[in-house]
Amino acid sequence: MDKLTKGTWILNTTKHIVDVAQKSTELNYFETTALAGKTGVFLSKLVADKQEVITYEKVKKFARESSIDNNNRNVKMHLDLLKEYGKVDYNTKLTEVEVYCFSNEDAIETTADIYSNEIVDEDEDINIYSLEETYNVPRKREELVNKLVNNGYSEEKVNLAIKIQDTFGLIKVADNILYNEYTFTGNEAKMVKTISNISSSKKKDIEEVINRISNNQGLIENKITSDINPEIVKLMEGIGLIDGITVTSEIGEATFYTSPHIKGKGIKEKDFSLADDVFHKAKILLSCLRFGQEKSTYGRGKIDTRTKMLNIIRKLNRGEWLNPCTAVGQDYKLLEVDGVVRVRAFGNRFQMSLRQKEVGILVEKMILNNSIDTTDDMGDICSLEVQPSGIIIPEVRRQQMKPKEIGLVKELRDEMLTILRT
């Protein structure tokens, strides 16, 4: 398994375990995974397009947002680990940190390096390899067990690992078929095969949802569920045919849907993989822009057209600061703590620029994939009516949702898994 693939599975596992109470005994099975995964997430926030010096106070914020206890000793431990791999350096007084990691791909591969160079329990290796196996094709339980035993793992350890994976939602179990939620990520061919072979009467609904999202990445939920059974949409999200990201704020929340793989103009299937946007940065940036498009008022600089949105993202991709506006300092704090943008004061207003251009380029390609166009050009003001206070990523949404797996929904799920196995 190459480093990019291994690092991706480590990071995907970390997303499922970071919110679990630290006293949970099951976490003992993921000690090295958690160390490497949290450090990798931390590094992904430090990533910049060029060598950059960051204040220690900002570094501590990045650490906190990476599920790392941000006391000085703990932060320094993770910085020392990254320094060992040549990704950061810091001054004697630890007031500034210099970053030498310039892409999210580098952060993913560094995650794999950290994991591989630690003492790893067999349970953790089983987790990674079983995720890869169930990503390639849904497996019957005995089939997966035999495959892993033939690779040298004990049957007892394999069965325990599967049980723990089920507990954390890493592997889904449906009538003795094991699959994972990333089955369609980075592989549109699987999606095409599955949808084209569905015999259910709801095939047209599924195709319609796929088409709407493909043509409008970051499509708000009510533009789908207004005329399509919400349980069908839940099923599609639960099995991984679509990804949902929820943006929360003081006035409520909104959910935006994208394809599970990065899709856009100029992106071909061979160009994207399971590792693309593993940190969800492009999807989160797009969802924040969509939130501004759907929820803000015109008087505050509403992002009301596709052209206006493209103006914003293209200016960011050119490395320019956006025109100062009141809301940027509030609205994009989520993106700032994710390391995607930098924000600076401009009098009593704020300006924003992009720290990670690769994220902006992906978003631009996703927007350009839209079939809907407009002629209005309202400039580059980027503000929202209120500050988004949080993001719920696809993995968390799937763990929270409990679709009614009865009747037609269960029938559709079982049929999709059968198609994938043939």
Q: What is the pLDDT along the chain (422 residues), one digit of tens a residue?
A: 899 999 999 999 999 888 765 556 777 889 999 999 999 999 999 999 888 999 999 999 999 999 998 899 999 999 999 999 999 999 989 999 999 999 999 999 999 999 999 988 898 999 999 999 999 889 999 999 999 999 999 999 999 999 999 888 898 888 788 988 888 886 677 877 788 888 777 888 999 999 899 888 889 999 999 999 898 898 889 888 899 999 887 767 889 999 887 554 444 444 445 666 778 888 888 888 888 777 655 444 455 566 777 888 899 899 998 877 655 545 457 788 889 988 888 887 778 889 999 999 988 888 876 543 333 333 444 444 445 678 888 888 887 775 555 556 677 778 888 888 77
* Residue 94, in any domain of the structure: yes
Closest-CA residue to 81 (of 33, 113, 45, 120): 113
* Residue 134, in any domain of the structure: yes
Terminus-to-terminus CA distance in the chain, angstroms? 24
- In a shared domain, residues 85 and 170: yes
* Residue 422, in any domain of the structure: no
The number of C-alpha atoms within 13 Å of 370 and in the hemisphere containing its C-beta is 19
- In a shared domain, residues 172 and 195: no
- In a shared domain, residues 164 and 245: no
- In a shared domain, residues 205 and 171: no
- In a shared domain, residues 148 and 217: no
Q: Rounded CA gap, 43 and 83, in Å?
A: 11
> pTM above 0.85?
no
CA dihedral 187, 191, 193, 194 (to 10 degrees): 140
Q: Which of 122, 146, 179 is the last residue of a domain?
A: 179
- In a shared domain, residues 219 and 165: no
* Residue 404, in any domain of the structure: no
- The count of domains in the chain is 2
Q: Which tokens sit at 140? A: 């019957």
Q: Which tokens sit at 240? A: 């991984």
Q: Rounded CA gap, 180 and 222, in Å?
A: 27
Amino acid at 51: Q
* Residue 421, in any domain of the structure: no
Amino acid at 64: R
- In a shared domain, residues 96 and 213: no
* Residue 407, in any domain of the structure: no
- In a shared domain, residues 56 and 151: yes
Do 371 and 215 touch, CB atoms closer than 8 A?
A: yes
In this prediction, residue 62 carries a pLDDT of: 94
The number of C-alpha atoms within 13 Å of 107 and in the hemisphere containing its C-beta is 26
- In a shared domain, residues 266 and 312: yes
In this prediction, residue 303 carries a pLDDT of: 58
* Residue 13, in any domain of the structure: yes
* Residue 392, in any domain of the structure: yes
- In a shared domain, residues 158 and 96: yes
Q: Which tokens sit at 300? A: 């505050």
Q: Which tokens sit at 157? A: 């350890």
- In a shared domain, residues 118 and 197: no
Q: Which of 179, 202, 225 is the last residue of a domain?
A: 179
Domain that includes residue 312, residue range: 188-396
Q: Which tokens sit at 28? A: 């003992």
- In a shared domain, residues 163 and 197: no
Q: Which of 115, 145, 179 is the last residue of a domain?
A: 179
In this prediction, residue 408 carries a pLDDT of: 61
